[in-house]
Amino acid sequence: MNLFLSLLSAAALFATTCYTHAQDKAPVNAGPYVPSPTSVVADMLTLADVGPKDFVIDLGSGDGRIVLTAAKVFGARGFGVDINEKLVRDANESAKIQGIADRASFSIQDLFKTDISKATVLTMYLLPNTVNMLKGKLLAELKPGTRIISHDYGLADWWAAKTITMDLEDKIAISGVTTTIIFLYKVPAKFAGSWSAKLPATISKGPVNLDLTAHLVTRVRGKARIGGKDVGVEEGLMNGEVLKFKLLVGGKYFDFVGTVKDGSIEGTVEGEGLKPATWSASTAK
């Protein structure tokens, strides 16, 4: 068992003591306080491509270093939540000292009950089981395109858009090993289901039934019914609101790109003998 995990039982007791706002029962302890090394914080925010337009939420914010760095160095805004009162007080104090209290704030709050819908970037350094307990909440509350960054522990059965793996001596004191992984995920727009598509006449003269399913959350699988035959969706990928896939029709490949929004898809398709042309789809009734 690594050090991070073994610190949990001590931290659980500490967190329960610190959380004095207990309404009904103490929150689930999502991880002990161990700060991400400053170089990892910079790498996490760089991997998420954080900028002045971003709103960063750190679940279990510790001394606030992720949101403070996002505001101070990357020009973003945001907030952090933690159940440890002292850490929240220290983080707000640091924001004041650094002159960024208008853009970075911290509150004593259970991360499982925090409204995360404002985030454009969500960060976490939590225990592996906690990260996975949050999957439903992340998909339900975050907007399509929101970047999720997780330090060391990934979301099971969720395709990462990117990962960075490195060895860091600083991590020995935290986890007992030098290995450090940063995972980047992007929240997909809801695309799974049946669509009625209008394609250029070169591909199909009549409307096409497109059935799409999600694999590992952002991979797209399915089939299109064209000319009485099922054609498999190939290389399907959802990147935020952007859907991409290929169809092999009449021996020719066609590349589709589309934006999925509010129950419709609008996009372009091109391929052999077909210059970029528009296509669209709406949810099949």
Ligand X SMILES: C[S@@+](CC[C@H](N)C(=O)[O-])C[C@H]1O[C@@H](n2cnc3c(N)ncnc32)[C@H](O)[C@@H]1O
Q: Which is nearer to ligand X, 34 or 139 (CB)?
A: 34
* Minimum distance of ligand X from residue 94's CB (angstroms): 12
Single out the residue of 43, 110, 152, 241 in contact with ligand X (rule: CB under 6 A).
Answer: 110
- Binding residues for ligand X restricted to 230-249, rule: CB under 6 A: none
Instruction: Single out the segment in contact with ligand X by CB under 6 A; choices: 76-84, 137-145, 176-184, 241-249.
Output: 76-84
Give per-residue burial for 40-66: e unless 16+ CB within 10 Å, then b.
Answer: bbebbbebbebeeebbbbbbbbbbbbb
Q: What is the rounded CA–CA span in Å between residue 78 and residue 149?
A: 15
- What is the distance between the alpha carbons of residues 101 and 189, in angstroms, rounded to a whole number? 33
One of 68, 71, 78, 84 touching ligand X (CB under 6 A): 84
Question: Residues 69, 42: contact at Cβ < 8 Å?
Answer: yes
Based on the shown chain and the rule CB under 6 A, indicate whether residue 82 belongs to the binding site for ligand X. Answer: yes
Query: Are 111 and 78 within 8 A, CB to CB?
Result: no
Q: Which residue is nearest to ligand X (CB)?
A: 60
Among residues 3, 8, 28, 274, the one that binds ligand X under rule CB under 6 A:
28
Nearer to ligand X, 27 or 176 (CB): 27
Q: How far is CA 255 from the centre of its chain?
A: 26
Give the nearest distance from C-beta 110 to ligand X in angstroms: 5
Residue 149 to residues 15, 66, 224, Cα–Cα distance (Å): 24, 11, 34
Q: Does 94 bind ligand X (CB under 6 A)?
A: no
Residue 40 or 233 with smaller CB distance to ligand X:
40
Site map 46..75 versus ligand X, x via CB under 6 A: ------------x-xxx--xx---------
Judged by CB under 6 A, does residue 81 bind ligand X?
A: yes
Tokens of 180: 């450090």
Q: How far is CA 35 from CA 65, 81, 213, 252, in A?
A: 8, 14, 38, 53
Binding site for ligand X (CB under 6 A): 15, 27-31, 33-36, 58, 60-62, 65-66, 81-84, 87, 110-112, 125-126, 151
